[in-house]
Structure formats: structure tokens, C-alpha cells
Amino acid sequence: MSEAKDFNHTTAPDWCPGCGDFGLLAGLKKALPGIPLEPHQLMVVSGIGCSSNLPGFVNTYGMHTLHGRALPIAQGFKLANHKMTVLAVGGDGDGYGIGMGHLVHAMRRNIDMTYLIMNNSIYGLTTGQTSPTSGFKMKTKSTPFGNPEVPINPLTLAMGAGCSFVARAYTGHVTQLVEIIQKAIRHQGFSLVDTFSPCVTFNKVNTHQFYKDHCKDINQEGHDTSDIYAAFRQATCEQYIATGIFYESERPCYESAEEETLREPLVNHKLGLSEAQQAELMAEFV
């Protein structure tokens, strides 16, 4: 049985002191043993950004890919070796900006994997430009007179695209975060977990105190996670910032629709090539 410390890596996080990503990393390490998972059973894939450094800070299989391209790699890995548990991680710019097209299609396909977004409403790695979730009229380096664009609502987008598990948490509320991560990973299908992860260096609006003052756990209030209309109402509520599991539904995941092909993981399929042909291919690409 694994423990949280088994997921510690020798490389220490290099995020700014106080960054919300520390909370997500801590929550993830606490969540994994309770699923239960061993380090060798997990693959963590990221794109580019401050939060996308996370695979280097956990003792699992991992891959740091291209900006906005975590999901294509993660989906490919899951289909090639679907007996592994697969997580994709990244920030709001990575997932809701350049990677948005991949996100929509991954959600509708319902591949059995989890996507953890560390949403700080700013481009932190490039020192503070407006991101897809920056507030309307928010002043940043790229919008000194105020952001002219309405921010994306990731939750309503996810539910509209057919995502079968939609949740949100604040990384400073670790107990709730751990529970949501565990339920997201156990869910059979695509799970989106949007987490508020404050950037203490470049975003002085969406701070830790802001989320502590405004977040409300809707699951403690008896929210019905099977009611998509109630989930939409909570996701668009203006009286408070709703957190928790908004919507969960049971529908066949992509792998079950390809049962004949995927009964045996693709990594175990025979290529039908001779040893000489395999050696020739390996010599060409390695």
C-alpha cells in the first residue's frame, strides 16, 4: 500500500513561495494512496507553463510536452496502455487557450482519464498577461486599460461539450481537493477538475484571501450532481463562487466502444514484423 511520501520526487518544486500550485501538488500526493495507486501505475502528462512543471515533482511516469498539447499525448498513452491511470495537468492558458480544441474533443470522446487545471487567471510563466479566464476589465501587462474580453467559464463549457465529470476546487482547501481528485480518478470517463490556484506574483486580484472569502462547497449544501440544470445554475452563480462536484453522469467511455481492439493494451499487440524489420525501424527512429 503506497503512502503520500512514495510520490515525492528528488526534484523540489521551483514555484514562487505561496503559489497555489503547491496546494494542488500536496493534494494530489495525498489523494493517490487512497484510490489506491502505486507510483508505477500512474502517468502524468503536462503542456507548458508554471503548473506544467508538475510531472517533474512527482515520482511517477511523466511527460512534459508542448504548449496546449498535453491532452493528445495523454489520450494516446491511455489508448496504448489503458490499464494505466492517466492524468493530464496544466494551467488555464495551456488548457483553455491554445489547448481548447483538444479539450472539447477529449470531453466528448469520454476517454477514461482526468485533467487537472491549475487556474490562476493569468499567464504567470510569461510574467503576467491576460489569460482566457482573466476577469472582464482586469488590468494586466497585455491589457493595461482593462481586459476587453469576457472570460471563459470552464464548467459550463465542459458540461455543454458532454463532459461526464465536472468539478472545481480551491487549492487552499486541501481536504475538499483530495476528495474531488479521488472521485475524479475513480470516475469511468473523462474528468475535468478546474482548480483555483492563485498566482501570488502577477495576479493581485484573484488571491488566496479572495477565494477564502468567496468559495462555497455546494456538495455540503446538498447539490444534486446528476442534475445538469442545477449544475449550470451553480456554475453561473454570482452570489458566491461555487466549488465541489457539479455534474457526474454514467455513459460508456471511449475504450468500451473499441473493446475488440483494446481488450489487450496496444503496447502488447504484435506488430507482425520480423526481427530484422523491427531492428530497421528502431535504427531509423532512435
Given this model, what pLDDT does residue 98 score? Answer: 95
Angle made by CA atoms 151, 123, 115, in degrees to the nearest 5: 75
- At residue 273 the predicted structure's pLDDT band, cuts being 50, 70 and 90, is confident
- At residue 258 the predicted structure's pLDDT band, cuts being 50, 70 and 90, is confident
Burial of 113 (0-12, 13-18, 19+ CB in 10 A): buried
Given this model, what pLDDT does residue 108 score? Answer: 96
Look at residue 83 and tell me whether its pLDDT is greater than 90.
no
74-83, 124-133, 191-200 — which is least confidently predicted?
A: 74-83
CB 176 within 8 A of CB 169: yes
Given this model, what pLDDT does residue 285 score? Answer: 83
Given this model, what pLDDT does residue 275 score? Answer: 87
pLDDT, one tens digit per residue, over 19-68 is 999 999 999 999 999 999 999 999 999 999 999 999 999 999 999 999 99
Burial of 81 (0-12, 13-18, 19+ CB in 10 A): middle
Look at residue 173 and tell me whether its pLDDT is greater than 90.
yes
- At residue 268 the predicted structure's pLDDT band, cuts being 50, 70 and 90, is confident
Look at residue 272 and tell me whether its pLDDT is greater than 90.
no
Dig out the grid coordinates for 140 from the structure: 494586466
Given this model, what pLDDT does residue 257 score? Answer: 78
Q: What is the pTM of this model?
A: 0.93
Given this model, what pLDDT does residue 40 score? Answer: 96
Look at residue 75 and tell me whether its pLDDT is greater than 90.
yes
User: Please, what CATH class does the domain formed by 4-285 belong to?
Assistant: alpha beta
Dig out the grid coordinates for 174 from the structure: 486541501
CB 245 within 8 A of CB 167: yes
- At residue 259 the predicted structure's pLDDT band, cuts being 50, 70 and 90, is confident
33-42, 75-84, 198-207, 267-276 — which is least confidently predicted?
A: 267-276
pLDDT, one tens digit per residue, over 85-132 is 999 999 999 999 999 999 999 999 999 999 999 999 999 999 999 999
Burial of 216 (0-12, 13-18, 19+ CB in 10 A): middle
Give the number of other Cβ atoms within 10 Å of residue 18's Cβ: 12
Q: At what angle do helices 100-109 and 70-80 cross, to 10 degrees?
A: 30
3-state helix, strand, coil in the chain (%, to 5): 40, 20, 40
Task: Report the candidate in 97, 92, 80, 79 with the shortest Cα–Cα distance to residue 253.
Answer: 79
Angle made by CA atoms 267, 272, 273, in degrees to the nearest 5: 105
Task: Report the candidate in 94, 108, 77 with the shortest Cα–Cα distance to residue 197.
Answer: 94
pLDDT, one tens digit per residue, over 151-171 is 999 999 999 999 999 999 999
Instruction: Locate the DSSP E strands across 129-229.
Output: 165-170, 190-196, 215-217
Given this model, what pLDDT does residue 30 score? Answer: 97
- Average pLDDT value for the chain: 95
